[in-house]
């Protein structure tokens, strides 16, 4: 959230709200990934129920580009995990 001081008050409020939404969605995916990696969820359950392809569209089309815009060397581990979970067959604009 660099350069907030350069924005108008309305733009700052919007930037803060968008960032909060991005963090909430990313947190959901990060937590489900961790539950799977720690053995609390099976990959089949994760794939078939919690991260069906239509749910991953948000991750790949919105959240990953936000992460890349914030930091060119962003941590791709979580994104790669979900990509691999579906065999790399989903649309991933930053692939």
- Give domain status of residue 51, yes or no: yes
- Give domain status of residue 90, yes or no: no
Torsion region of 39: left, alpha or beta (phi above 0 gives left; psi -120 to 50 gives alpha): left
When pLDDT is cut at 50, 70 and 90, the band that residue 48 belongs to is confident
Report d(CA 35, CA 3) in Å as an integer.
35
The total number of structural domains that make up the chain? 1
- Give domain status of residue 92, yes or no: no
- Give domain status of residue 29, yes or no: yes
- Give domain status of residue 42, yes or no: yes
For residue 77, the enclosing domain spans 7-85
* Stronger pLDDT, 6 or 79, i.e. the higher one: 79
- Give domain status of residue 33, yes or no: yes
Q: What pTM was estimated for this model as a whole?
A: 0.78
Report d(CA 45, CA 28) in Å as an integer.
15
- Give domain status of residue 93, yes or no: no
When pLDDT is cut at 50, 70 and 90, the band that residue 57 belongs to is confident
């Amino acid at each position: 959230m660099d350069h907030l001081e350069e924005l108008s008050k309305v733009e700052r409020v919007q930037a803060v709200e968008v960032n909060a939404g991005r963090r909430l969605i990313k947190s959901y995916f990060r937590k489900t990934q961790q539950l799977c990696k720690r053995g609390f969820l099976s990959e089949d359950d994760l794939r078939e129920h919690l991260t069906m392809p239509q749910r991953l569209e948000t991750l790949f089309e919105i959240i990953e580009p936000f992460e890349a815009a914030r930091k060119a060397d962003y941590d791709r581990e979580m994104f790669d995990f979900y990509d691999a979970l579906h065999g790399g067959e989903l649309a991933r604009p930053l692939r």
